[in-house]
Amino acid sequence: MAVINVTGGDVAILSLGNSSTLAEPDNAAVFQIPLLQDVSVSTAPGTVRYSTLDSTSSSAFTTVVENEITFNMLLDDDAFFGNAGVTDNEVATNGLWSTSNSKTEVFFSISFEGDTTASGGYYLEGKGFIGGLAPSASIDGAVWLSPGSIIVNGDLTKQTL
Amino acid sequence: MAIRDDLITQITTNIAAHSNVSISQELPFDQSGIPLYDKNMGVIYVDEQELNVEQLYRTLDQGNVNQTTTTVNAYLSVDAKNEYSDINTVVANLLIARNVVTNVTESNSDYETEITDDVITYTFEYNFITV
């Protein structure tokens, strides 16, 4: 048992691909989003509350889980606008902007403990749609920054390398 | 080209119309521990630039973005009893010389004066922030 230290630079990784295999952290053609400042995984079970005459407290039951990945990043031109030189992963070829704009479903993984088999680390995988891109620039900020999100379609699945 | 060189070039241009002031490229500019601007009044001396690098952004993949603050000091001494009639213009021209440095997120210049005996020493400080 130990905390997961992310300061190494190769631990917390968001990866994309146009298939679940391509999105696996250790796949040679995986598209790792560079220059992430932070990444958050949100999993929120829907609930409905109800009251009964025989209880002074409300009860609840769950409905569906809404999953979302959110992140903030410095813009990398290849990652954002695509790299035509990449031919084995369409998400990398088209970039985040075009993939979001075309509403193309992508597969993703979030590594919690690195991207090598040797690490044996946990990661979450799923599929969804890229959204929330809002690139902004200011002279104080000096570089382009953007938030982003993946609206998850379905489950987040726990995996290990 | 170093920022110091750019500044010297621009200051040279800016003071061209002021015959009582000139600029030296000399480094270092002291003799036996005495700054040359104290001996050679009316001559502007520009010190070597100093850099301070700080982390502007940190990222999870260590693709860090740094910002560099470059500081350059310049010195000018004049006779306090016989100050140049155009000293205000000279000072203004020295301050705006900072505009020659481009591709910066911030450029600032200011000055302070110190009077010792009959000599006023103007110390100019230029700051440039680049990413």
Q: What is the DSSP string of B59-115?
A: -TTS--EEEEEEEEEEEEEEESTT--TTHHHHHHHHHHGGGG--S-SEEEEEEEEEE
**Between residues B26 and A12, the one the model is more confident about:** A12
Q: Please tell me the predicted confidence (pLDDT) of residue B127.
A: 97
Give Cα A71 distance to the centre of its chain: 7
Q: Please tell me the predicted confidence (pLDDT) of residue A74.
A: 96
Give Cα B78 distance to the centre of its chain: 16
Q: Please tell me the predicted confidence (pLDDT) of residue B38.
A: 87
Cβ-contact B91, B85 below 8 angstroms: no
As a whole number of angstroms, the distance between CA B16 and CA B120 comes to 22
Cβ-contact A22, A30 below 8 angstroms: yes
**∠ CA B83-B112-B66 to the nearest 5 degrees?**
140
Tracing tokens 């889980």 back to the chain, one arrives at: A65
Query: Is the pLDDT assigned to residue A136 strictly greater than 70?
Result: yes
The total number of residues shown for chain B amounts to 131
As a whole number of angstroms, the distance between CA A133 and CA A37 comes to 14
Q: Please tell me the predicted confidence (pLDDT) of residue A88.
A: 93
The shares of helix, strand and coil residues in chain A, as percent rounded to the nearest 5, are 10, 40, 45
pLDDT in tens, A67-88: 999 999 999 999 999 999 999 9
Interface contact flag, B105 A140, Cβ < 8 Å: yes
**Which residues does chain B have within 8 Å of residue A6's beta carbon, measured at their own beta carbons?**
60
C-alpha distances in angstroms, A120 versus A1, A5, A55, B54, B69?
A: 14, 15, 48, 35, 43
Query: Is the pLDDT assigned to residue A8 strictly greater than 90?
Result: no
- If 0-12 CB within 10 Å is exposed, 13-18 middle and 19+ buried, where does residue B131 land? middle
Please report, in tens digits, the pLDDT of each residue of chain B (131 residues total).
689 999 999 999 999 998 889 999 988 988 888 889 988 999 999 999 999 999 999 999 998 899 999 999 999 999 988 888 899 999 999 999 999 999 999 999 999 999 998 899 999 999 999 99
pTM to 2 decimals?
Answer: 0.82
3-state class (DSSP) for residue A57: coil
- If 0-12 CB within 10 Å is exposed, 13-18 middle and 19+ buried, where does residue B129 land? middle
Put residue B42 in one of left, alpha, beta given phi > 0 → left and psi -120 to 50 → alpha.
left
Cβ-contact A39, A9 below 8 angstroms: no
Q: Please tell me the predicted confidence (pLDDT) of residue A124.
A: 96
Q: Please tell me the predicted confidence (pLDDT) of residue A118.
A: 75
Closest CA to B3 of B54, B55, B63, B73: B73
Q: Name which of A34, A142, A143 is nearest B61 (Cβ-Cβ).
A: A34
Alpha-carbon Rg of chain B, whole angstroms? 17
Give the mean pLDDT of A2-14: 90
Interface contact flag, B60 A38, Cβ < 8 Å: yes
Closest residue, chain A, to B63 (C-alpha):
A35
User: Within an 8 Å CB–CB cutoff, is residue A134 touching chain B?
Assistant: no
Q: How many CB contacts within 8 angstroms connect chain A with chain B?
A: 41
Cβ-contact B120, B37 below 8 angstroms: no
DSSP state of A70: E
